[in-house]
Structure 1
C-alpha cells in the first residue's frame, strides 16, 4: 500500500511538472502572439549586389533580400521552446542572424526557431533577422498573413499584428533604395510602373462619350444590329410569353429583370419568344443564336434553342441604362456566339469561396453569355466537395489547422494561419453542389468539375492516408487499402512546383488510385443527374506532375561546366515523381509505360476509360498532363479538350497549333492574357501572381486575339515589358473556346475574388462571343513583330475599346453595384499642370475624387472646371452607388 502511495505521489509530481512546463510554454506562445512583425523587402536583385544566389541553390540563380523585424512589446522572452510558423511562397535560402534558423515544413509553411546561440527577445526591443529568399517579391501579395506562434503542448496562436488582409500593417512598402527600384524583377525589367502620371498618359486616348453614343449598344456585341430612333419604356414591367423556355430559366431571367427594376407584369411590355431551329442557317445555326426585334408595341425573340431565348432576353437587359431610366432603344439584332466554349475557371482548392459568391458569379456569367463554369474542386491545399463514403476528404482534406501529424486537418497554407475559421477551410456539401449545378443550369451554364490529379493531389492523398490509418487500426486491411493513393514503398525525394513532397502526387500505378477516381466520378455524376444537368465533361487536371528541382533553372553540384545563371544543388538526391515506387518500377519494367515521365499521360488514358464507362463523352485537361499521348484519338472518350496555358511570348503562339492538329479541342487559357489571378497593372499595391505577365487589365484582355495567337505580338509585351515576335509555320484548325482563370493562392476572401474577376470578365465575354473587325485571320508563316509590323488596325481597335470602356464605366459597373459585386475600381490617372489638377480614368463615367488634406476630406473632380490645388493632392475613384472607393494615390506635382 505504501509503495502504491509513493508511486502515485511521484506520478502526480511528474504530472504537475508537465503541466507547469506546458503552462510556461503557453505563456511564451501568448507573449509571442503579441509581437509586432515587420517584413521588409530590401533588394529584389540580390544576385547583382554581391549575393551568390547560384551557390544558395536558387532557381535560375535569382534571389532577394528581406529583413524580418520582431518587436517584443512586453517582458523579456528567454525560453527556447517555441517556434514561429509563417507562410512564404518563396523558399528561404539563408538566415543571416545566428540566433535563429528557418526550416521549410511543407508548401509555403516555414518555421522560425531559436538556435543554441539564442539569448532572448529583450523587453520592449526589436530584433532583426536578415534572410535571403528565392526569386523576387515585387507585389504586396507575395507576403502572406497570419504568422503564428507554437510550442509543444501549447495551443498555437496567430500573431495579432499579422492577422489582417491589410498587408501593409506588417510589411513595408516596395520603394526605391540604394540598389535601384525594388518593384523591378531584374535590372533589365522594362515595365512601366503605374503611378498617377503614367496612368494619366495611358488613359489619354480614352475620352468620355455622350450617353447618346451608348444608346442601343449591347455587350457582348451582336453579329448584326440596327438601332432605330424610338425608345420603349419598361417601367411598367414586361410580359414574357414563351413555351420554349423552361420554368427554372424563366425564373432566372425574370429575377434578373427584377434586380434592375423591371418587374414581371401581365400588362407590361410584351415579349414573345419562340424556338425555330429551321430559321437559322450557316454560322447562325448554333446553340445560343437568336434574332431580337424590339419594337414600339412589343419585342420578339426567335431562337435556335432555349439558350438563344435566354441570351436574347439578356441582350434586352444589357440595353438598360444605369441612371434608373427603364427606356431602351428599339432595334433589330441577329446574333450567335463566336465560340461554343466561353468559360470562367474558379479555383476553390487553394482557398475556399462561399456558395453565395459562386452563385453571384453564375448570375454575372449568364448576363454576359458565358456558358461554362470550370470548377476546380481540389488541389494540394484543399478538397472542397463532399463524397459519400469517403468522409475524410472533407473531415480532414477541407480543413487547415496546426496539426503537425495531419490526422485532423491539413497544415496551414497561403496565409490561413493555425485556425480553421477562414477561407483556408471549407467545402460544399452534396446538397450545396447540387444547388450550384441547378442554379447554373437555369442560367444556361454547364458546370465542369475538376479533380486535379495525379499532381496537385495532396489534400486527397493526406485524407486517404487518414482513412487508411483509421481502418488499419480497426483491423480492416482490405478496406483500408481500397482507396489508398500512396505506395508505401515509395520514398522518392521530389519537390512539386508549390514545394510539396511526394504526398503531392497521387500514385498513378495503383489500382486503388483508379478505384478512388472511379468512386469520385460516379458520385459527382450522380449529383449532376439529381441536379438535372447530366455530367458531359470531366476535367482530369493533369498539370505540373514533375519535380521542380530537376528543371532547367538548376544544375548539379558535380556538373563539369556550371552556368552562373542556374541554381547549384545536389541533383543526385532528387527523384522524378514515383521513381522509387516499386509498383511503378514494375510497370515500366514490364513495358506498360515507357518511363516515369510518361506516367501522368498514361494515367490520363486510363482515367478516360473510367470517364467513358460513366457515359461521359468528353474528358478535359491542362495540356501538359496529356503531352505524351499520341493524339486525341488515343483516349476512350468521344472528345478531348485541353486548356492551353503556354505563355505566348515563350512559344505558345506556335505550340497551340500542335494540340489542335492532334485533334484536341483547344481552349485558349493563356496566363499572359486571361489569368485573372494576375495583377491588373504594374504597381506593387495590386494583388496576384505574375510569373506569366506583370499585368492584364481590361484593355489588354479586350485587345486579345484568341483565334490568331501570333497577332498578339503586335498589341502587347512580354513579362519584362519587352516587344516580342510571333509566327507559326503550322496549320491552325482554330480555337474551340476561351476561358478566364482565377487561381486562388493570393485570393483568400470572396471580396478579393470579385476584385480580381471583375471587370475583366466583361472584355473576356466580349472576345469569347464576338470577333472584332481588327482581329485578323490566321496565316501560316505570317510574322508579327511588336513595335515593327503594322498589320493590326490600331485605330479600329482603339475606337472599339473607347466605346466598350464607356459602356462598362457608364453602365455596367452600376449594374454590378446593384448585384452586390465587389469589383475593382480603377485608380485614376492624374497630374498637376500650372497649379491645376487634371485627372482621367480607364473606364470613363466613373466618379473621380481628390483630396488636398491628406485624405481627411474628398471632393468630386470636374474635368470642365479643373480645380486649383497646392501641395500634395490625392485621387481615387468612387463606385456609382457611393459605397466603395479605389485605392488612393498621390499626384506628382511639377
Structure 2
C-alpha cells in the first residue's frame, strides 16, 4: 500500500506540474498574441520640464520622458508569473507605475514584471507606464522591435504587435518640438518644402562623358563608340578570375563580352613616370577601338570599370573620350559591421561587386563585437555555436541573450556566421575585384561574444575534469570584481582581460587561423584590424560628478564615483601586472594589449596592424608596434576636436584612415526626419550631398560647408603642422539599428558612391590644409560655385545612370524623398538626383500620376508625393506636401 501511495503522490505531482506548465504556456501565448505595446514620446528635454535628471544619475543630467502603453485586445489575463523582455538603447532611469517593475538584464535587454499590486489585464484595458530614460529619443528607430514574453517552464514568444520592422506601428509623438534635442537645436527638419529648397539649385544636364568616381582628366573627342554589338577584350595581362569579374559587370549592363568592338589592354609599369601609383591607367575610347594602358593589373581593372561607367542600361553608344586617371588614396574603404546584426554571404558578395564598380578597394569586416561572433574558427566551435547565435537562454551556455530587437528566437539576422568556406569564397571573390578584405576581431573591449563563448567552453571542459583545457582560452578573470558599464551597457564580460596569458593564447589562435584561411584563398593576410575602441567605463565620463561633492554642477549627473572602476581595476591578474610596473596604469592596459597583439601579427608575417585610434592612445607613437606599418581608423567627430586630432595621429607616424562619424558613417540617418533609420550621436543627418562635399584631407574646411549635430555652425582650425599625409578614407556601416539585408543596402546605397568619389578624386574646391587657418560658416575660403557645380554633375550621373544600375544589380538602395511646394495651385517637384522619375497623388495614394516639370499640374486638396525607380517597381517613402 505504501508503494502505491508513493506512486499516486508522484503521479499527482507530475500532473500538477504538467498543468502548471500548460497554464504558463497558455498565459505566454495569450500575452504574445493579444498585448499591443506602443511607445509615445512626451519630452526630450525632461530636465527643463521639471524632472530631476541629475538625481536620477543621467549623464550630463539629460533625460527624456516616454510612455509604454500595454493594451490587452483579448480575454482577461489574471496571471502574474510572466515576464516581458524588451529592448531599449537608452538607459531607463525610472518608471511611474506601481503595478510593474523594470530591470535591466544586460546591454539593451530589459525585463518588465508585475508587482504584487498588479491587477491583471482586463479585456480592452490599457495600462500606461511612464518611463524616464537617459538622453533623448528623436528617431523612431530608437525604439527596438521584438519584445517577447516568457514564464516558468514555458517557451518564450515574440509579442506579435512588436514583431515588425515598421516602427510607425508602435511609435508615436515624434513631431514638432519633440524632434529637438535641446533649446539650441537648430536643425532643419525635413519636409517637402525644405527638400524642395535644398534641391532647387539642381537642374537636369547632359552627362554622357561623366562617370563616378571622377577621373583626374577627361578629354571629350570627336565621334562615338558603338558597343551594342559587344566588346572583344584583347589582353594577356589579366587573370582569368579578373576577366570573369569583368564579365559579371558587363552582363549587368547587357553588354556582350565576346563581341565586335575591340578593347586592347596593356599593363606596362615602365610606360609611366616615377610618380605613378597602383591603379593608374589611361583610357582612349575612339570610334574604332578602345586602348587601355595601365600601370598594373589594378589599373587595367579600373580602366574597364570606367569604360563600363560610360554605358547606360538602355544605350550602349558612348562618347569618344580620353581619360587619364589615378586614385587619390591607396586605401578606399568600406567597413561593414556584421557583428551587431549579421549580413548574409550573398549580400556581402553583392557589396563587393558594387565596391569594384566604383573603385573601392578595402572591405573592412567588423566580425566580432559584444552581440555576435561571425566567423568560424577551427578548434573553437563555441565562438559560433554560442557567440554566433542570439536566443533566450539566461545561462548563455547555448547562445547569447537577445539584443537590438532580435527577439526570443534565432531565426533572424541577430544570429548567423560565415563558415570557413564562406569566408574563403568571399576572399577569392574580392581578390578578383582588386579588393583586400581586412578582418577586425575587436579587442579588448566589445568582446562579450568571445568572452561568453569561451566561458561556455570553460564549463564544458571543467565538467569533464580537464581544467588545463578549460583554462587554455579563457578570457575573463573569474576573480575580477570590477564594476564597469560599457558604452552599450554591458559589464566586465564585455572585456577580454589583457593580463591573462590565456587571452594572448586566444589572440594568437585567432590570428593564425584567419591567416591560414587567407593563404588557402590565395590572398595572404596583409592587414590585421585589432579594434581596440571604447575600452572604458562610461560612468567615469565627464558627464558625471560624485554624489558627495560639495560644489555641484547643474548639468552633470550625480553618481557615487567611488563605486565605479576602470576596466580590470579589481582583477588580481591585472593588479599584479601594474605592480610589476610593466604598465603605467589600468587606463594603459588596452594599448599594452594592442602592442602585444601587434607583435603576434608581425610574427605571423602580416605587415600592417590597424586599430581604432582611441585603442592606441597610451602608446608612444607608431614605433611602439612591431609591424612594418601601423594604421589608425580615425573616428573623432570633426566638430568635437577631430579637425585637429587627426593631424596629431599623422604626426606620430601612423597611417591615418579618415573615418569621420559626422561625414562617412552610414549608420547615421539620411535626413533629420523621425522616419529615417539610424543612430545620431555624431550628426542628425548625412545624405549623399553632404558626403560628397566632405573634404577628407582638410578637415577644418568642413566647418564652412556643414553644421554640427544641433544644426549650428562650428569652427575648424588647422593647429598641427602635418608631417605625413593621410593614408585613406573609409565609409562605415555600424549595424545596431540595421537588422535586415534590405535595411543594410538602404543605409549604404547610394551614398557610398559619394564616399567612393571622395576617396578616388580630389576636387578643385578642396583647399590645401594650412596650420593656423580657421574656417566657419562666416568664412569664404571654399569655392561654393565650383562645389555646387561639381555636385550637380555627380547628382545627374546618379539620377540618369547609376541608380538604374543599382536596381538592375538587385540592390535595395534608398530612393530619395522628393521635394515639393504648391504655388498658386500649381505643384512644383524636384529631386536630389535630377532625372529620377517623380509621382504625385491627390487621392491619398489610391492612384498615382507621373510628374513632368514641363507641364506642371494644378492640384487641390491634399497631395502625396514619391519618387519611383527606373523599372517602376520600387518607390521612395511617401510624404505630404505642406
Please report the TM-score for the alignment, with normalisation by the length of structure 1: 0.98
Give 1:262-341 correspondences, 5 Å limit.
262-265=255-258, 267-283=259-275, 285-322=276-313, 324-341=314-331
- Which one of the candidate residues 836, 839, 850 is aligned to 1:846? 836
Look up the match of 1:155: 155
Report the equivalent of 1:108. Answer: 108
Maintained 8 Å contact 2:145/2:405: yes
Q: What are the Cα deviations for residues 161-192 of structure 1, in whole angstroms up to 9, with x where unaligned?
A: 1111011112224123xxxx111111110000
The answer on whether the counterparts of 2:332 and 2:729 sit within 8 Å (CA) in structure 1 is yes
Mapped to 2, the partners of 1:809 and 1:152 lie a distance apart of 56
Unmatched runs of 5 consecutive residues or more in structure 2: none
Does 2:760 correspond to 1:769?
yes
Query: Is residue 442 of structure 2 the alignment partner of residue 452 of structure 1?
Result: yes
- Does residue 515 (structure 1) correspond to residue 505 (structure 2)? The answer is yes
Cα distance in 1 for residues equivalent to 2:719 and 2:81: 64
Partner residue, 1:51: 51
2:172 is paired with a residue of what secondary structure? Answer: coil
Secondary structure in 1 aligned to 2:412?
A: coil
Partner of 1:236, secondary structure, is: coil
Q: Secondary structure at the match of 1:182?
A: helix
2:193 alignment counterpart: 197
C-alpha deviation, 1:800, in angstroms? 0.4
Match of 1:570 among 549, 560, 578: 560
Partners of 2:42 and 2:173 within 8 A in 1 = no
Q: Deviations over 1:839-884 (max 9, x none)?
A: 1111111111001001111101111111111110010000111111
* RMSD (Å), alpha carbons: 0.9
Kindly state the Cα deviation for residue 663 of structure 1 after the two structures are TM-superposed. 0.3
The secondary structure found in structure 2 opposite 1:48 is coil
Q: Alignment partner of 2:525: what SS?
A: coil
Whole-angstrom distance in 2 between the partners of 1:682 and 1:451? 33
1:225 matches 2:218? yes
What is the rounded CA distance, in whole Å, between the counterparts of 1:229 and 1:833 in structure 2? 44
Which residue does 1:591 correspond to in 2?
A: 581
CA distance in 1, matches of 2:3, 2:602: 69
The answer for the alignment partner of 2:472 in structure 1 is 482
Q: CA deviation at 1:159?
A: 0.4
Per-residue deviation, 1:12: 2.2
Out of 178, 182, 200, the position equivalent to 2:178 is 182
SS of 1:93 mapped into structure 2: strand
**Matches of residues 529-544 of structure 1 in structure 2 within 5 Å?**
529-544=519-534
Q: Identify which range, 807-816 or 571-580, moves more after superposition.
A: 571-580
- Matched residues in 1 for 2:881 and 2:776: separation? 35
Shift of 1:4: 3.0
CA apart distance, 1:7: 2.3
Tell me which residue corresponds to 2:536: 546
Aligned to 1:664: 654
2:14 matched to which residue of 1?
15
SS in 2 for 1:357: helix
C-alpha contact 2:253 2:312 (8 A) present in aligned 1:
no
Distance 1:626 1:656 in 2: 13
CA distance, structure 1, for counterparts of residue 555 and residue 27 of structure 2: 43
SS in 1 for 2:117: coil
> CA shift at 1:79, angstroms?
1.7
Please give the alpha-carbon distance, in whole angstroms, between the structure 1 residues aligned to 2:362 and 2:605. 20
Q: CA deviation at 1:11?
A: 2.1
In structure 2, how many angstroms separate the alpha carbons of the residues matched to 1:254 and 1:208?
A: 31
Shift of 1:728: 2.3
Partners of 2:533 and 2:12 lie apart in 1 by 56
Q: Distance in 1 between matches of 2:215 and 2:402?
A: 47
Aligned residues: 880
Please give the secondary structure, in 2, of the residue aligned with 1:94: strand
Q: Deviations over 1:687-746 (max 9, x none)?
A: 000000001111111110001111111010010011111112211222110000000000
Counterparts in 2 of 1:873 and 1:146: CA distance versus 1, 3 Å: same
Runs of 4+ in 1 over 3 A off after TM superposition: none
Q: Give the stretch that moved more between structures: 655-664 or 76-85.
A: 76-85
For residues 706 and 620 of structure 2, what CA distance do their matches in structure 1 show?
Answer: 34
Task: Tell me the residue number matched to 2:747.
Answer: 756
* TM superposition score normalised by structure 2: 0.99
Q: Which runs of 5+ in 1 are unaligned?
A: none
2:47 is paired with a residue whose SS is: helix
Map 1:427-446 to 2 at 5 A: 427-446=417-436
- Matched residues in 1 for 2:46 and 2:431: separation? 52
3-state SS of 2:871 partner:
coil
CA offsets 1:520-575 (integer angstroms, 9 cap, x no match): 11111111111111000000000000000111111111112111111112222211
Distance (whole Å) between structure 1 residues aligned to residue 327 and residue 354 of structure 2: 17
User: What SS class does the counterpart of residue 422 from structure 1 fall into?
Assistant: coil
> C-alpha separation between the residues in 2 aligned to 1:862 and 1:553?
53
1:170 equivalent in alignment to 2:170: yes
| Preserved CA contact (<8 Å) 2:650 2:725 | yes
Aligned twin of 1:739: 730
Deviates more, 1:27-36 or 1:496-505: 27-36
1:318 deviation in Å?
0.4
Q: How does 1:637-648 map to 2 (within 5 A)?
A: 637-648=627-638
Name the counterpart of 2:518: 528
Shift of 1:780: 1.0
* SS of 2:19 mapped into structure 1: helix
Which residue matches 1:72?
Answer: 72
Q: Which one is further off, 335-344 or 72-81?
A: 72-81
207, 220, 244: which one aligns with 2:203: 207
Give the Cα separation in 1 of the matches to 2:405 and 2:476: 28
Aligned partners of 1:772 and 1:564: how far apart in 2? 46
1:63 and 2:55 are equivalent in the alignment: no
Alignment partner, residue 780 of structure 2: 790
Instruction: State yes or no: 1:499 paired with 2:509.
Output: no
